[in-house]
Amino acid sequence: MKVKNPWHRPLIIFIAAVIGAGIIIMVVIAVVQNKPLYQKYKYGIVLDAGSSHTSVYIYEWPAEKENNTGMVNQKHACNVKGKGISSYSGTPQKAGESLKECMDEAKKTIPNYRHHETPVYLGATAGMRLLEMENKIASGEVLKSVEKSLQAYPFSYQGARIISGQEEGAFGWITVNYLSENFRTASGTVGALDLGGASTQITFVSEGILESPENSIDFRLYGNDYHLYTHSFLCYGKDQVLKLSLEKQIQSKLNMTDNIILEDPCFHPDYNVIKSFQSVFDSPCVKKVDQSQKENTFSHKGTGNWNKCQEAIKKVFNTSYCRFSRCSFNDVFQPPVEGQFGLKQNHPEVKEKYLAEYCFSGTYIITLLEEGYGFTSKDWKNTKFIKNIRDSEAGWTLGYMLNLTNMIPAEAPDTPLMPYGGYVSLMLVLSLLIFVFLILGFIFFRRPSCPAHKEII
């Protein structure tokens, strides 16, 4: 007669329990490890208050960080109707009112639960720099108006200010290189040129010693340090240079006759428009005329001669004096241009005004690059004219947002329970243990019971 071992049944139950628990643990870990992760996004709004118009840009980036700089992409853009905010110096309250339509769009675009933590920044550029030069009180009233308007929205208002020309150039450089993915590779960076209505900027990495500290700015992005040369020429945007050119022609004829006719080689031959002195002399970039002459008019007549046009434009650059080892123009230090460049120019809608000025603008761009910045024929193949890169505008606002994300706290993202390698290793160990216990269970289950001892009488 066979008698079962007293520990046989409990051992089988224990092995079965271990196998069952192991299977349950494996299933739970697999479910948790492979559940879809919810992608959290943060948002930021930057308003570019330029000389001719204002644009509102909405950016988004994953809440987690990459090397201390948020991965930012342009989500939406809205152009404010009307002129730039500097044009409202006489009626500053309208500056804030002009932003309503685009800010309402921003409110709809960004999820409600993110409104309170979405930062809003307004950066005013050359148009407001000129207004501040001419009338500091008026520029302050305009900024107060836009500030009041932006604070009425449920976003986190972070300020409205006039950014410097150096900041505008440097943030534009960040934008171009970020969108070109130059920060993630060892291919090097490209320089950035920006031509607006009231100013122009040049920015590039320079390996040499910069003789003027005011033209130097440093950034740390994606774990790398960048030492930049940057300079902004206020009054050398295409609109202001046109005023400078016309002012020089008017001044040369001012005392000769009351009926001034300007034969302008930078405009096509069929162009003939009567203009007021006020349209030229309303800018702080040009020399003033007597108050009594501001109501005067002149005849602006085109003759269409490229060579003479370039000669006229060259007169706005002062290259007669340089206190450094080398200069661009107007006694501004500039090291030799290096590497590739991206040139961003504003492309307004095709209107009669812009069509008439295309000849002037094209000639000015070439003259600025060659006579101003020192580009040569060999540099042209390394220069690209751009507006958008990867569906984002190549302006300063994205660079501004990229830089500011260093001040925005990072959220802890939803991460897997463990690294993928650890997950695979744990699954293998658990599978092996379950297999071992299955073998042991099978052995003990099949093992015969001990035979009972017979009594010998």
Binding site, residues?
A: 197-201
- Phi, psi at 101, each rounded to 5°: -60, -45
Token couple for 51: 């000389």
Max Cα–Cα distance, the chain, nearest Å: 154
Q: Where are the beta strands (DSSP E) in 69-131?
A: 73-79, 119-124
Tell me if 342 sits within 8 A of 190, measured CB to CB. yes
Tell me if 295 sits within 8 A of 172, measured CB to CB. no
Residue 171 neighbours by CB under 8 Å, 6+ apart:
163, 396, 397, 398, 399, 400, 403
Tell me if 92 sits within 8 A of 145, measured CB to CB. yes
Percent of residues in the chain assigned helix, strand, coil, to nearest 5: 40, 25, 35
Token couple for 328: 């661009």
- Please give the DSSP secondary-structure letter assigned to residue 369: I
HSE toward the beta carbon, residue 219, CA cutoff 13 A: 28
- Distance (Å, rounded) from C-alpha 217 to C-alpha 228? 5
Tell me if 299 sits within 8 A of 263, measured CB to CB. no
- Residue 108: its H or E element: helix 100-109
Q: Closest Cα to residue 345, out of 364, 373, 329, 326?
A: 364
168 is an active site residue: yes
The total number of residues shown for the chain amounts to 457
Token couple for 179: 């969108």
- Distance (Å, rounded) from C-alpha 32 to C-alpha 25? 11
Tell me if 352 sits within 8 A of 390, measured CB to CB. no
Tell me if 41 sits within 8 A of 61, measured CB to CB. yes
Strands of 272-276's sheet, edge to edge? 260-264, 297-302, 272-276
- Distance (Å, rounded) from C-alpha 74 to C-alpha 58? 6
Give the annotated binding-site residues for ATP. Answer: 197-201
Kindly report the three-state secondary structure assignment for every residue of 421-437: HHHHHHHHHHHHHHHHH
Catalytic residue selected from 132, 168, 338, 393 = 168
Helix axes 396-404, 165-179, angle to 10 degrees: 90
Q: Mind telling me the catalytic residues?
A: 168
